[in-house]
Amino acid sequence: MNEHKIITMLGFASKSRNIVSGETGCRIALEKRKAKLLIIAEDATTSTKDFFGKISVQQGTPLIYFGTKIELGRSIGKSPRSTIVICDSGMADSIIKILKCEPQSK
C-alpha cells in the first residue's frame, strides 16, 4: 500500500515539474544543491549506488532505495530510470514520512 502512495507522490512531483531524473541530471541537481531527496532504484548498478551514495552524503541529501528502474521510470511517465531527485522539500518530506510508516519486515 505504501509503495502505491510513493509512486503516486512521484507522479505528482513529475507533473509539478519538481523532479529531475537520469544520472546526469541528478548529478547536476545534487551539485547545485537543489536536491531535497535522492531516490535510487534497487536494481541500479553498484557503481551508480556508490557514486550517488557518496554525493548524497557530501551534500547532506537524504537517500532512499526504492523500486526498480522500470517502476521509477513508469511512475514519472518516462523510460526506465536509475535515479530520481525530488527538488521540492514538501514532496520530499511526504515521501520520507510515508517510508517511515512502512513496516520494516516484508
- The answer to whether position 82 is within a domain reads yes
Asked whether the beta carbons of 41 and 72 are under 8 A apart, the reply is yes
- The tally of CA atoms less than 13 A away on the side-chain side of residue 21 is 21
* pTM for this prediction: 0.88
pLDDT at 103: 52
Q: Which pLDDT tens digit goes with each residue over 57-68? A: 998 999 999 989
pLDDT at 101: 75
- The answer to whether position 10 is within a domain reads yes
Q: Which pLDDT tens digit goes with each residue over 1-45? A: 688 888 999 999 989 999 999 899 999 999 999 999 999 999 999
* Helix, strand or coil, per DSSP, at residue 62: coil
In whole angstroms, what is the distance from residue 47 CA to residue 14 CA? 26
For residue 47 the three cell numbers come to 557503481
CATH of the domain at 46: 3.30.1330.30
User: Which domain does 77 fall in, by range?
Assistant: 2-101
Q: How many structural domains compose the chain?
A: 1
- The phi and psi torsions of 92 (rounded to 5 degrees) equal -60, -45
- The answer to whether position 106 is within a domain reads no
In whole angstroms, what is the distance from residue 71 CA to residue 81 CA? 8
